Amino acid sequence: MINRIRDVRREKGLTLAEVGERCIPPTTAQTIGRLETGMRNLSLDWMNRIAAALEVEPQLLLRSDQPSEPKVVARLTEAGAEALAAPRDAVLPTALGGGGLLMALSVEASAGEYRAGDQVWLREVPAAEHARLINRDVLAPRPGGRFAFGRMIDRDSARVALLPHGMGQRQVVIEKPAWLAVAEMLVRKL
């Protein structure tokens, strides 16, 4: 059975050993690792135990066979938006309707109104609709696998200008971005 135990565990910042300790009764990190990788069968009992340990609903641990699941593609740090070493599955808090590719940005350092621990859900917008993104928060790819995240303050046919969040930030101009994704939902832990 394909599962997303690893994605949920990493999103919550837990190690294999910590999840094993939280299980009732406790189990080993090795067992959790085998369940994550599919080397051990994920029974309904195991799924319920691990879901309780991760404090999520059991159905969040199941992965569909669809290749178009949303991914966390970047993180926001003190230095700005950065690419992850490899995109990872994002745990969708609720179904977002509409078209366009969904992606997420995890906030690791507070910037502007975004706090560390937030997750920003974004939707890719077709180039024909980029004009409506003025004064909205957007994520844009930059050369070399980097990203820029900020308020879109200007746009023409060949470039966009973003103002990153936080005091004293300078605008970032991106020539011919391959795509733009607009912030649609902020997920913040209470």
pLDDT tens digit sequence for 21-35: 999 999 999 999 988
What's the pLDDT score for residue 66?
52
Tell me if the pTM is above 0.95.
no
CB 132 within 8 A of CB 182: no
CB proximity list for 128: less than 8 A, separation 6 or greater: none
- Give all domains of the chain, ordered by start, each with its CATH number: 5-61 (1.10.260.40), 71-187 (2.10.109.10)
What's the pLDDT score for residue 63?
64
CB 125 within 8 A of CB 144: no
Show the tokens assigned to 92: 């969708």
Burial of 14 (0-12, 13-18, 19+ CB in 10 A): middle
- One-letter amino acid at 131 equals A
The span from the CA of 113 to the CA of 107, in Å, is 11
pLDDT tens digit sequence for 128-172: 888 899 999 999 998 888 899 999 999 987 899 999 998 888 999
